[in-house]
A and B are shown apart, each in its own frame.
Chain A
Amino acid sequence: QQQVKQSPQSLIVQKGGIPIINCAYENTAFDYFPWYQQFPGKGPALLIAIRPDVSEKKEGRFTISFNKSAKQFSLHIMDSQPGDSATYFCAASQGGADGLTFGKGTHLIIQP
């Protein structure tokens, strides 16, 4: 049972475009939704996160949109740059000591 479904699997966008990565979850007990960014040869690093009591959160060029009723959330990257090329993972957790449940990842390429 996949609890967090992420799409697309891969994405190619021209520099300056707005890549959008989508995730859907099933467990309504999830209360924390982070996005992680991973460069080749490195571990994932927290990019931005949201709680279900808000519908949108912005940090620099990165925005999370959250739709609680649809059980979906998405990552938007404004004015994308080649340096944003990486693998992006959405995740969810329901607190406690448990770890995060991750989506399968999106390999993003920003072309110059």
Chain B
Amino acid sequence: DVKVTQSSRYLVKRTGEKVFLECVQDMDHENMFWYRQDPGLGLRLIYFSYDVKMKEKGDIPEGYSVSREKKERFSLILESASTNQTSMYLCASRKQGPPTIYFGEGSWLTVV
């Protein structure tokens, strides 16, 4: 069965802290994504990666960076967390070719 795992479901961080959100997929998918979900705004793409060590900016990359050192793992990094980054973060993956994207269960981040 398809599995995208976000290890941290709920986090509370202080303004200015560096935050790491980790995502692992077990489907040998080439493409991985980080979305942010906010009420009334839907899902917005932050970054995506189509291969190890490759990354592309999405629609809202400001304030975020990513790391993909291994095919199965894609990390989202908030270099200096701010209160406007309080949100739910969704990781997703897809095999190169078929368009179906599979999501993890989300990481709720609160920055205080």
A and B form one complex: yes
Q: Which of B13-21, B64-72, B79-87, B103-111 contacts A (4 or more CB under 8 A)?
A: B103-111
A residues less than 8 Å from B103 (CB atoms) = 36, 43-45
A43 touches B105 (CB 8 A): yes
Which of under 10, 10 to 19, 20 to 34, or 35 or more describes the interface residues of A? 20 to 34
The number of residues on chain B lying at the interface, defined by a beta carbon within 8 Å of a beta carbon of chain A, is: 26
Query: Which of the residues A43, A44, A89, A93 comes within 8 Å of B99, measured between beta carbons?
Result: A93
Interface residues of B in 30-76 (CB under 8 A from A): 30-31, 33, 35, 40-45, 48, 50, 56, 58
CB closest chain-B residue, reference A93? B99
**A39 to chain B: closest CB distance in Å?**
10
Given A43-B104, A93-B99, A97-B56, A104 contacting B42 (CB threshold 8 A):
yes
Cα-based distance from A104 to B38 in the complex (angstroms): 9
Cα-based distance from A34 to B31 in the complex (angstroms): 18
**B7 at the binding interface (Cβ < 8 Å):** no
Cα-based distance from A45 to B104 in the complex (angstroms): 9
A residues less than 8 Å from B99 (CB atoms) = 32, 34, 49, 93, 95
A residues less than 8 Å from B4 (CB atoms) = 43
A24-51 vs B, CB cutoff 8 Å, 1 = contact: the mask equals: 0000000010101000011111100100
Interface, chain B (partner A; CB < 8 A): 4, 30-31, 33, 35, 40-45, 48, 50, 56, 58, 90, 92, 96, 99-106
**Known pairs A43-B106, A99-B35 / 14 extra A-B pairs, C-beta < 8 Å:** A6-B42, A42-B105, A42-B106, A43-B4, A45-B103, A49-B100, A89-B43, A97-B30, A97-B96, A99-B58, A99-B101, A100-B45, A100-B101, A103-B42
